[in-house]
Amino acid sequence: MTWKQRNKVRSYLRSSLWIVPVLAGLAERMFRAIVEVVEARTHWTWFDLGIDGAKALSNTVITLSLSFVVFTFGSLLVAIQVASGQYTPRIIATTLLRDNVIRYTVALFVFTLLFAVRAINRLENSVPQLFVCIIGTLGLICLAAFLFLIDYAARLLRPVSLVKRIGDEGLRVIEAVYPEKFTSAPTATTQLQEAGAVERTILHRGTSAIILAVDVPRLIAEAKSEGGVIEFAPQVGDFVGAGEPLFLLRGAAKSIDDDLLRSCVIFGSERTLEQDPLFGIRILVDIAIKALSAAINDPTTAVLAIDQLHGLLRSAGRRNLRTDFILGPNGALRVIFRTPDWDAFVHLAFVEIRFYGASNIQIARRLRAMIINLANTLPADRHAALRLELHLLDQMLEKLYVLPEDLALARIPDSQGLGGSTNGTTMPCAT
């Protein structure tokens, strides 16, 4: 199986809700066969129920498990609609459909339902006591799991839970894309002119789509074997139309097979968090600006999103956001692969929230506190973009707030939004 196929299968398995319950059905067949063997050898009689009692217990468990399955999927559909309208549709694929608690709880219900349905067929002239005991135990477990699921779902749909999940996943992606800690400002040791002229261009074939992932190690290996340079024209997360440039081959890399290079790229209809370090920030910004809309008017949820943005920016600022040039083991340029730089992270995290939320004192104070904290904790090379955002925030506040008292209040940094304050904490880049 190729890298592209493995990646697609893994992504599909992670985002599909039906697979685990189906596997539970297969597991039930094997488990039932084992129980039959154990019962034949042990002649289990501990439960000691009659035929009528065993049938009543089995029918009750069947009714319960079937009701739990229907209620769970019905509630999930409602949760998807509420989360999509209240927060952003992007969280459906990234959180709700990938939640293992929901998957395995539904799998338990399906397992119990199938086991009870097949076991009741044996309740004719005798009662298999071990089967009845297991049915009763599974029924109690399903009841406890259902009560737990209700509590879990209520906690899952809280704004703080959703934004934290997205923030944690965003941190994982940033660490994977930028594994090196920040030492100094990355400099391009290789000029584009040194890579050589473009000898051949490989165009995107098929339908227009979004780039989800790229097999960069394979590109490096192919470029090294040919002794040339492979330039990946777009960037992960970009929309590429049919016939647009996909690879620019320089030097000896022109002899690399087209299909081999195309197999190193995965396309899809929607951005994912797999190799896209900006997508987590994009989702959090969408949640924040929707919360700031007049229809919802929930600045506290926007502050929760800003808290996670704060963590993502701190992680990105402490890492070496490498240049577009990837060198081989011998120091020769092999691949040109574009990734977001520090300015891209800062602009995406601040601009839209500042535009829609600066009129809210809570948001203005939280943004200022984030800028100051990042400036006090990140290297000096990161301060220029932060200084610009602080300057733009001040300019916007001066235009929005007519009363000097309100303006002074909005300029107080506050990590809670509108709660405590840092009592005039300053930032190194603010001067």
User: Letter for the amino acid at 386?
Assistant: L
Burial of 147 (0-12, 13-18, 19+ CB in 10 A): exposed
Phi-psi region of 206 (alpha: psi -120 to 50; beta: other; left: phi over 0): left
127: left (phi over 0), alpha (psi -120 to 50) or beta: beta
Q: Which secondary structure element, helix H or strand E, spans residue 231, and what is its range?
A: strand 228-235
Q: Residue 122: what are its φ and ψ, rounded to 5°?
A: -90, -5
Please name which of 350, 362, 373 lies closest in space to residue 420, comparing C-alpha atoms: 362
d(CA 66, CA 101): 18
Please enumerate in sequence order all residues whose Cβ is within 8 A of that of 331, keeping only pairs 6 or more positions apart, or say none.
Answer: none
Q: Tokens 């000691």 correspond to what residue?
A: 48
Return the bridge partners of 119, or none: none
- Helix, coil or strand: residue 388: helix
- State phi, psi for 274 to the nearest 5 degrees: -55, -55
Question: What is the Cα–Cα distance from 205 to 126, expressed in whole angstroms?
Answer: 65
> What's the whole-model pTM score?
0.85
What letter does residue 46 receive in the DSSP assignment? S
pLDDT truncated to tens, each residue of the chain (431 aa)? 778 888 888 888 887 888 899 999 999 999 988 988 888 888 766 666 678 888 888 899 999 999 999 998 888 888 788 777 778 888 777 777 778 888 899 999 999 999 999 888 777 777 788 888 899 999 999 999 999 999 988 888 888 988 999 999 999 999 998 988 877 655 445 555 566 788 899 999 989 999 999 999 999 999 998 888 999 999 999 999 999 999 999 988 889 999 999 999 999 988 888 889 999 999 999 999 999 998 888 999 999 999 999 999 999 999 988 778 888 777 788 899 989 999 999 999 999 999 999 999 999 999 999 999 999 999 999 999 999 999 999 999 999 999 999 999 999 999 988 776 655 455 554 44
Sign of the C-alpha dihedral, residues 99, 101, 102, 106? positive
pLDDT tens-digit series, residues 44-78? 666 666 788 888 888 999 999 999 999 988 888 88
Q: Which two tokens stand for residue 126?
A: 């005798």
**Rounded distance between C-alpha atoms, residue 309 and residue 409, angstroms:** 23
Q: How many CB atoms lie within 10 A of CB 204?
A: 21
Q: Are 51 and 58 in contact (CB under 8 A)?
A: no
The pLDDT value given to residue 312: 96
Q: Which residues of 120-129 are buried (b: 16+ CB within 10 A; e: fewer)?
A: bebbeeebbb
Contact between 368 and 425 under an 8 Å Cβ cutoff? The reply is: no
User: Alpha carbon of 361 to those of 195, 198, 365, 366: distances in Å?
Assistant: 50, 52, 6, 9
Q: Alpha-carbon Rg of the chain, whole angstroms? A: 28
Which residue is listed with tokens 């904290």? 373
Three-state DSSP class for residue 209: strand
Closest CA relative to residue 44, chosen from 139, 134, 122, 124: 134
Q: Confirm if 333 and 327 have CB atoms less than 8 A apart.
A: yes
Residues 245/202, Cβ–Cβ less than 8 Å: yes
Strands (E) across 252-340 are located at: 265-268, 325-327, 333-338
Per-residue confidence (pLDDT) for residue 427, from 0 to 100: 56
Q: Nearest 10 degrees: CA dihedral of 38, 44, 47, 52?
A: 90
Per-residue DSSP letter, 319: B
20: CB partners within 8 A, 6+ apart: 103, 104, 106, 107
SS3 content of the chain, % helix, strand, coil (to 5): 60, 10, 25
- Find out whether 306 and 313 touch, Cβ atoms under 8 Å: no
Decide if 311 contacts 280 (C-beta within 8 A): no
Q: Are 152 and 101 in contact (CB under 8 A)?
A: yes
End-to-end CA distance of the chain: 57
286-334 residue pLDDT tens:
999 999 998 888 999 999 999 999 999 999 999 988 778 888 777 788 8
